[in-house]
Amino acid sequence: MNKAQLVTQMASHSHSTKKEMQQALTSIQKVITISLSQGDQVQIAGFGTFALSYYPARSGRNPQTGEIIEIEGANKAVFKSAKALKDLVQ
Q: Which of 19, 20, 25 is nearest to 1 (CA)?
A: 25
pLDDT higher than 90, residue 4: yes
Contacts of 5-12 with CB under 8 Å at 24 or more apart are none
Instruction: Find the helix or strand (DSSP H, E) in which 43 lies.
Output: strand 42-44
What are 10-60's pLDDT values in tens digits?
A: 999 998 999 999 999 999 999 999 999 999 999 999 999 999 999 999 999
Residues 51-89: b if buried by 16+ CB within 10 A, e if exposed: bbeeeeeeeeeeeeeeeeeeeeeeeeeeeeeeeeeeeee
| The pLDDT of residue 31 | 96
CA distance linking residue 33 with residue 14, whole number of Å: 24
Answering whether pTM is above 0.85, one says no
pLDDT higher than 90, residue 90: no
